[in-house]
Chain A
Amino acid sequence: MRQLLDPAGELLGDAPVGLDETRRLYAAMVEARVYDRKCTALQKQGRLATYAPFEGQEAAQVGAAAALRPDDWVVATYRDAALMWMHGYTWEALVLGRTGDERGGSPPEGINILPPSITVGAHMLHAVGLAWGERVLGTDRVALTSFGDGATSEGDFHEAMNFAAVFSTATVFLCQNNHYAISLARATQTRAETIADKSVAYGMPGEQVDGNDLFAVLTATMTAVASARNGAGPTLIEAVTYRLGPHTTSDDPGRYRPAEEVEQWRERDPLERVRLYLASQDRWDEEWQRELDRTASERIERAVNIAEGLDPLPASDPFDRMFATASPLLAEQRDEAR
């Protein structure tokens, strides 16, 4: 398993980026965590629909996004807000989606991110088709798809991996192995020793990395993206990480995993080791941290205000977004719903 930054903040190899970029990515992880905790609070106050927290997986998501070009495609899941935000989705759109509003599924023009997939697994194929489509259209855009360890048991994982390899599409498969598919532990999900091993069956490269190590994820993704962009086809990356929170706000993880296990993973916090590394390089101090915490809170509060401040969609909206043009019978239903 590739590791470049150990939990003590010790650099074990070459840093893929300089200190300024490392500070930028650290700040992003801080902001993502503020967003994540805020959403959990909002949900418990009845202001969001169910929320799926990603705390503990910030390095996997921020590190992977940092390896992409702004016009690349991202096809991710309901637990990938940090990845999507890093690639250009706005916090307000992400909050809006979780309040139960379709406007959250519509990223800004020019940002190539599909709305987060709620079903497990099917979306991986979309990244195959998107990369293939871009190739036909003559671009060198790459499509990165993110999914969990549970999704690798879905048939669509197999079909997507196989199609990507057979047709050599510029697809990067990023598995965030966070050890649980709701309650099912990684060990009972597959008998394969690693998820990265599965790449062998499809004839594509695969690598397991420490998913809580920003540098390891970033390096692996940069390699995969470069390979895809150069026409060498897809790669599977297994980022080994841990979901510190529940599956969603409706879940009680105490039913299926011991508290000690969570505590052990807390000690491998993906933010802490970057902080220690930056501190060792004299590029972190408490004042900067306070500043980061404050600006992150402000930005997230602003996003929440924007999302909650929008007027509800009119009753006609669901009908007007089904087709380019609503059929006469659908238009009748629209009038009936008013």
Chain B
Amino acid sequence: MAYEFRLPDIGEGLTEAEVVRWLVEVGSAVDLDQPLVEVETDKAVVEIPAPRQGVVLHHGAPVGAVLEVGAVLAVIGEPGETWGEGGGDKPSTEVPAETEEVVPATKVVAPIVGSISEEAEVLGAIASVEPARPQALPLVRKLARELGVDLAAVAGSGPGGRVTRDDVVSASEPDGAEGDGGDERVRLSRLRRTIAERMTRSWREIPHVTTFDQVDAGRLLAARRALAERHQRLLPIEALVAKAVIPVLASFPEFNATLEGDELILHHRFDLGFAVDTPDGLVVARCQDADKLGLMDLAGEVSRLAEGAKARTLRTDELTGQTFSISNIGAVGGGYGTPIIPYGTTAILSVGRAQDHPVVRDGAVVVAPMIPLSLSYDHRVIDGGLGRRFMAQLIENLEEPALFLAG
């Protein structure tokens, strides 16, 4: 079958060549690697040898003509065979068995030819009269798409007129939410926004359960008074509660843990978080290795953290990484509550203010200082029964401070 020999790129990136001289005429026999034609490229005059033996059936171009790389240069076939461009026998560039011409199986990098089109210039001109895009972060654009808000129609309140997330949320709400009744719009502080984000994340991702109980704090408060007399300072209640809670956490490690995907990381350290009410908002300060501190040291640390949080002088690592948190809402007069679990932990204990209540003891009604306790936990990893048992052991400790103060 006739073989079409196409003009190869013989000079590293050439695109064409001019035929200088045919060395084998049409109809003549040619040997493998016998010089067939002389062509001139941009770099040199080159003799091209025949890639196979046979009879030359066709010259792709006369002397003086310029051929592009890839065009048919010559056709070589059997004696008596005919060849016609686009007709007769379908010409072959396939591999004849004996010579194994390589046909690339993968795409080949094409030479770059041609010039820049007029179309590109026209399109460029159209693009240049498009109106300016509204300024917004990709995050905000995505939100706008989700909420069906046209960004171009939103007046941006951010720096330089940038459309913010709040702008998009407002724009997505029904009319009337804005500007009626003389309401004041207050921009959240940086800390408040951070709190909002974290609370939202915890609330969205963690299925909260809160269990409530109260504890007779008579002995605990008596101990606190005795310590105050000895050391001339009143210990923060959180320090005492922390001492009572640590052995309970040791017994119930699920409460001192982090849920990560399908794994629950049980922490062997007790880095307790203490919620601090600051003028700017709620901050959870972390006391590292609370179990390793004596009561007085722990009390000192809790006070230092509270002051540091209020003065905003705490280091980052003092504000993150807690393994269990205690919130003393009693300090602001609170009773029961439903505390939100700090993200990355599984539980939080809220301690309310002590109030005298009538309680029945040994068949008689007596008055006792009762402290309300609220324990929120992550229901994905902690069941109700476990929550109750945790609470029961905590109450046992708090009612008999000797049990933990000795330890």
Contacts and interface: CB of A to CB of B under 8 A. Distances in A.
A45 B106 contact: no
A45 B12 contact: no
Contact of B102 (A41, A44, A308): A308
B101 A308 contact: yes
A332 interface: no
A315 B106 contact: yes
Interface residues of A, number: 23
Contacts of B101: 47, 308
A44 B14 CA distance: 13
B51 interface: yes
B269 interface: no
B11 to A, nearest CB: 5
A50 B48 contact: no
B196 interface: no
Interface in B46-66: 46-51
A251 interface: yes
Contact of B10 (A38, A44, A305, A308): A44
A41 B8 contact: no
B10 A251 contact: no
A46 interface: yes
B33 A249 contact: no
B47 to A, nearest CB: 7
A43 B43 contact: no
Contacts of A254: 44
B100 interface: yes
B33 A312 contact: no
B270 interface: no
Contacts of B10: 43-44, 46, 249-250
A99 interface: yes
B248 to A, nearest CB: 43
B98 to A, nearest CB: 9
A250 B48 contact: no
Interface string B96-109: 00011110111000
A45 B8 contact: yes
B51 A47 contact: yes
Contact of B8 (A46, A250, A311, A312): A46
Given A41-B49, A249-B11, A47 B102 contact: yes
A294 B10 CA distance: 28
The residue among B44, B48, B101 with the most chain A CB atoms within 10 A of its own CB is B44
B47 A44 contact: yes
Contacts, number: 56
Interface in A204-244: none
A46 B105 contact: no
A38 B33 CA distance: 8
B310 interface: no
Contacts of B255: none
Interface in A22-43: 37-38, 41, 43
B11 A312 contact: no
Contact of A46 (B9, B44, B50, B106): B9
A291 interface: no
A311 B33 contact: no
B328 to A, nearest CB: 47
Contact of A45 (B11, B43, B51, B100): B51
B69 to A, nearest CB: 9
Contact of A252 (B8, B9, B44, B47): B44
Contacts of A37: 33
Contact of B104 (A50, A250, A312): A312
A45 B48 contact: yes
27 contacts: A37-B33, A41-B33, A41-B49, A44-B8, A44-B10, A44-B47, A44-B49, A45-B5, A46-B7, A46-B8, A46-B9, A46-B10, A47-B51, A99-B102, A250-B10, A250-B11, A250-B12, A250-B44, A251-B43, A251-B44, A252-B43, A252-B44, A305-B99, A305-B100, A309-B100, A311-B105, A312-B106
Interface of B: 5-12, 33, 43-51, 99-102, 104-106
Given A46-B9, A252-B43, 6 more contacts: A37-B33, A44-B8, A45-B5, A45-B51, A304-B100, A308-B102
